[in-house]
Chains A and B, each alone.
Chain A
Amino acid sequence: MLFNSIEFAIFFPAVVAMYFLSPQRLRVGLLLTASCFFYMAFIPAYILILFFTILIDYVAGIYIEKVEGPKKKAFLVVSIVSTCVVLFIFKYFGFFTSSFEGLAGLFGWPVPHYVLKIILPIGLSFHTFQSLSYVIEVYRGKQRAERDFIVYATYVMFFPQLVAGPIERPQNLLHQFREWHEFDYGNVTSGLKRMGWGFFKKLVVADRLALYVNDVYAAPRGHNGLQLTIATVFFAYQIYCDFSGYSDIAIGAAQVLGFRLMENFRTPYYSLSISEFWHRWHISLSTWFKDYLYIPLGGSRVSKRRHIANLLITFGISGLWHGANWTYVWWGLLNGSYLVMGSLTKSWRDRLFSAVGLHDRSFIRKAIMLLSTFILTCFAWIIFRAHSMGDAVYVATHLFSGWDFGNIKTPQFLLRQMPVALASILALEVGQLLARRKTPFNVLGKMPVSARWAAYAAFVILVVMFGIYQNRQFIYFQF
């Protein structure tokens, strides 16, 4: 079930009402049932795959806690391998076989062509990682194994974050299913406001920009440099608003029910370095890779060469997590390279800024850093969005050639859409800037209730009226 559907508009209030009317002993079961219903709205049979991984990790968690020594590790390995096998079969089988075929073809080896005609279960990478984080934390002794199967299954399947995160940690979420959540007006309204902001990002900004981006990136060779540049910048906003919009809706929906999910985005395009960007972008995944891959590899407390390798390995795998395509791997490696270069040139850049009189807090220095970070990020998004490396290279090398101001529109994105698209980006930025100063709520909080409600109602209606409903699926669902 999509958040931006009529079905969800009926489903969610019904679940909230039933949840708060139910006694505690029924609440977790209710959430699990609702989550199953939510998930089965996509492809019902795939719930069995989810059930399989849940069962494996549930049993593994109990045994990991119960036993010691090599057996403990063996249970962890069995759990991780079996969970990852599911991910491999559904997500990476085709990628690896085709890559292997390509490699074998280079040497002239005949390799039979294997094709698995299966659809990737929605959100598989997300709940796989959430399950993995549970067994690893149990193994590390930081989390007690969950004995109640219903509670554990609900932890993995909790519908607000089931298909696109945030990827939760058991320490943060699991215990919340055992707590009594009162119906709290402040919580409910805050959650709804958060959802409203998420819908604005998704429906008004992301899906409108997607019309342009889809047209241009479907056939980059048929578009001029200006269109390629606009599409690339639009994609930066599209993917941010699509994914952070989903996270806002997920966090808001959970908050309405009284649950706290971790923050996933902190206005990443205001970052002054790529390193900072990755502290603010998809935080739940970044910290997952940090905790379970980068740090175990040795992190930064190793030789310089090893540190560089750790960064590239982590980002390469992070890229592959995003999709079974070499473009994602290259995108990850490019971001890893940015970090390596950033680290190697930091002292040199600091000296250069000092030499021209731009101190740490200088506005111009910050502006240069912000802009250069945004440009580097956009450049990386080209690889992420392109269908192939050939397309990515074409876009990257033709961004500034043949600009034609008389030819901006695309088949789906007529010129009348442009003012609305630009205004929506402006509204997003203004909203984010004002929010940093708490202005909207300072102003709204002082208003009489009628004026405040009118403002909220106007916001909802504007989102509804300016929303786009043609491209409804969230980008990150495919991951």
Chain B
Amino acid sequence: MYRQEASTEVSDNFSSVIVDVPRASSCETAAVRTKTLSGSKPPSTALWALRRLICFFAILTVMVFALNAMITSGLRRIKTSQYGAWNQMMDGKINARIVITGSSRAASHYDPRIIAATAGRSAFNLGRNGSQTDMQVAVLKAYLEHNQKPEIVVHNLDAFTFETSHEVYAFAQYVPYLYDNEIYAPLRKITPDTWKSRYVPLYGYVVDDMNFSWMLGIRGFFGWSPKGDFFQGFDPRLKPWTDDFDSFRASNPNGVSWPIEPEGIQVMEDLARLCQERGIQLIFVYSPEYIEMQKLTNNRAEVFGHFHELAARYHVPLWDYSDWSYAADTQYFTNSQHLNAQGAKLFSEDIASRLQQYISAQASSNADLRVAH
């Protein structure tokens, strides 16, 4: 930079060209009209220029709002994938008699088609990837707001059930539905900035999403829906066993302890009360978890103690599949937390028949009660 050698001067007028930067010789005369401080009034063309600028930005604003509306509308038209599941729920088109709620474990473990076929009742899976109990309950509330109440809610438990959301995973999935207060209020509680996604056009689609969901929206607007990989909310995992768990174990050789937050317990109590108030039978299910991961969880007994205490207090059945027949077989898992499609099929058959027995038992118990009366 400092040598005074004659270097090849590459003609480079980029900056001045692309932005019409006035050159040094002409800047005084052309662009930056400088005058003495006596304060001459701006020329009458200033008003014209201002009008033009306002006009341009007004058009731009309209385009931005229009694009936002187009994306939202497109996403809400999608009939398949995660958005399809959302849309069915928010449009009140599900009205299932058995509803499954929970995290990604719920989404990928319960096949409503198998459950419906065995239990003889329509079923739908409301499991949400990356969600904690607070958002799972929010989704259930939104469901109840738009659909007829189910007979049974199967709430899938996780070791991290008592940890509340500290950030929102895959935020873009919620953006088309932010005008629904059941969704908006809990999101706002987790991320106060959520208002920006609700009121600033495109904000939710571009700032909080790295997955180009807005492209899905544009395509959806023109009638295109992505490949159907969700089946009544069920999101099967097609991958075989990965090395995720080995990496996890290597980085946590002394095991892990999941937080038990008072707010997390409160949310579970809210869920139990909500179902009680609405006359919905709630069932807690701890779906299969890879056996080695169970050993790695240091406070598993404590977590389960809370599950049992909650279940007893609210008279909720608790079905624990920790010792599922295939819990030690990686052939049925994608990683320690998630069954693969093959495992999900086996588990869905198990849970479906247990549900069917439970419903029958409930029905006969009700009949006995009626006779006794």
Binding site for B on A (CB under 8 A): 6, 20, 23-24, 176, 178-191, 193-194, 197, 248, 251-252, 255, 258-260, 263, 265-267, 270-273, 275-276, 278-281, 286-287, 289-290, 294-295, 299-300, 310-311, 314, 339, 343, 346, 360, 416-417, 420, 431-432, 435-436, 438, 440-441, 453, 456-457, 460-461, 464-465, 467-470
Asked if A182 contacts B43 (CB within 8 A), the reply is yes
Q: What residue of chain A has the Cβ atom nearest to residue B196's Cβ? A: A6
Asked if A294 contacts B214 (CB within 8 A), the reply is no
Contact residues in B for A339 (Cβ distance below 8 Å): 1-3
Which of B7, B16, B196, B202 lies at the interface centre, i.e. has the most chain A CB atoms within 10 A of its CB? B7
What is the bound-complex CA distance between A6 and B206, given in angstroms?
13
What is the bound-complex CA distance between A461 and B30, given in angstroms?
30
Asked if B20 contacts A299 (CB within 8 A), the reply is no
What is the bound-complex CA distance between A270 and B11, given in angstroms?
10
**Candidates B14, B35, B40, B207; contact of A266 at CB < 8 Å:** B14
**Candidates B12, B32, B53; contact of A267 at CB < 8 Å:** B12
* Interface residue? B361 (CB, 8 A): no
**Candidates A255, A299, A310; contact of B21 at CB < 8 Å:** A255
**Candidates A24, A272, A311, A465; contact of B37 at CB < 8 Å:** A24
What is the bound-complex CA distance between A176 and B31, given in angstroms?
14
A-B contact pairs, 8 of them (CB 8 A): A182-B33, A188-B49, A190-B20, A260-B32, A263-B21, A270-B12, A299-B2, A469-B206
Whole-angstrom distance between the Cβ of B127 and the nearest chain A Cβ: 22
Sample of 17 further A-B pairs with CB below 8 A, known A182-B35, A290-B2, A469-B208: A24-B37, A176-B34, A179-B34, A191-B19, A251-B19, A270-B12, A272-B8, A278-B2, A281-B1, A299-B4, A339-B3, A343-B5, A346-B5, A436-B13, A441-B17, A464-B64, A467-B206
What is the bound-complex CA distance between A297 and B214, given in angstroms?
57
Asked if B196 contacts A453 (CB within 8 A), the reply is no
Asked if A468 contacts B210 (CB within 8 A), the reply is yes
Asked if A183 contacts B42 (CB within 8 A), the reply is yes
Asked if A436 contacts B11 (CB within 8 A), the reply is yes
Of B55-63, B89-97, B109-117, the segment with at least 4 beta carbons within 8 Å of chain A is B55-63
Asked if B1 contacts A286 (CB within 8 A), the reply is yes
Asked if B212 contacts A416 (CB within 8 A), the reply is yes
Asked if B63 contacts A275 (CB within 8 A), the reply is no
Q: What residue of chain A has the Cβ atom nearest to residue B18's Cβ? A: A435
Contact residues in A for B43 (Cβ distance below 8 Å): 182
Asked if A453 contacts B2 (CB within 8 A), the reply is no
Contact residues in B for A24 (Cβ distance below 8 Å): 37, 39
Asked if B63 contacts A461 (CB within 8 A), the reply is yes
Contact residues in A for B8 (Cβ distance below 8 Å): 272-273, 276, 360
Whole-angstrom distance between the Cβ of B329 and the nearest chain A Cβ: 27
**Given A193-B19, A194-B19, A270-B10, A416 and B2 contact (CB-CB distance below 8 Å):** no
What is the bound-complex CA distance between A255 and B30, given in angstroms?
13
Contact residues in A for B11 (Cβ distance below 8 Å): 436
**Given A436-B14, A465-B202, A179 and B7 contact (CB-CB distance below 8 Å):** no
Asked if B37 contacts A180 (CB within 8 A), the reply is yes
What is the bound-complex CA distance between A281 and B2, given in angstroms?
12
Asked if A469 contacts B207 (CB within 8 A), the reply is yes
A-B residue pairs, 6 tightest by C-beta: A278-B1, A185-B49, A194-B19, A190-B20, A179-B34, A286-B1
**Candidates A190, A258, A265, A311; contact of B19 at CB < 8 Å:** A190
How many B residues, CB 8 Å from partner? 58
**Candidates A273, A286, A311; contact of B7 at CB < 8 Å:** A273
* Interface residue? B254 (CB, 8 A): no
What is the bound-complex CA distance between A438 and B17, given in angstroms?
6
Asked if A343 contacts B19 (CB within 8 A), the reply is no
**Given A183-B50, A186-B20, A279 and B1 contact (CB-CB distance below 8 Å):** yes
Asked if B19 contacts A197 (CB within 8 A), the reply is yes
Q: What residue of chain A has the Cβ atom nearest to residue B13's Cβ? A: A436
Contact residues in B for A275 (Cβ distance below 8 Å): 1, 3, 5, 7
Whole-angstrom distance between the Cβ of B218 and the nearest chain A Cβ: 10
What is the bound-complex CA distance between A189 and B60, given in angstroms?
14
* Interface residue? B67 (CB, 8 A): yes
* Interface residue? B15 (CB, 8 A): yes
Asked if B12 contacts A179 (CB within 8 A), the reply is no
Q: What residue of chain A has the Cβ atom nearest to residue B21's Cβ? A: A190
Which of A255, A281, A431 lies at the interface centre, i.e. has the most chain B CB atoms within 10 A of its CB? A255
Contact residues in B for A280 (Cβ distance below 8 Å): 12
Asked if A441 contacts B206 (CB within 8 A), the reply is no
Asked if B17 contacts A185 (CB within 8 A), the reply is no
What is the bound-complex CA distance between A465 and B206, given in angstroms?
6
* Interface residue? B306 (CB, 8 A): no
What is the bound-complex CA distance between A286 and B3, given in angstroms?
11
* Interface residue? B252 (CB, 8 A): no
What is the bound-complex CA distance between A299 and B4, given in angstroms?
9
**Given A255-B21, A416-B212, A435-B14, A186 and B31 contact (CB-CB distance below 8 Å):** yes
What is the bound-complex CA distance between A299 and B3, given in angstroms?
8
Asked if B49 contacts A438 (CB within 8 A), the reply is no
Asked if A300 contacts B2 (CB within 8 A), the reply is yes
What is the bound-complex CA distance between A276 and B2, given in angstroms?
10
Whole-angstrom distance between the Cβ of A112 and the nearest chain B Cβ: 35
What is the bound-complex CA distance between A468 and B211, given in angstroms?
11
Asked if B36 contacts A180 (CB within 8 A), the reply is yes
Whole-angstrom distance between the Cβ of A127 and the nearest chain B Cβ: 22
Contact residues in A for B212 (Cβ distance below 8 Å): 416, 420
Q: What residue of chain B has the Cβ atom nearest to residue A307's Cβ? A: B3
Asked if A193 contacts B53 (CB within 8 A), the reply is no
Asked if B14 contacts A190 (CB within 8 A), the reply is no
What is the bound-complex CA distance between A460 and B37, given in angstroms?
36
Contact residues in B for A272 (Cβ distance below 8 Å): 7-8, 10
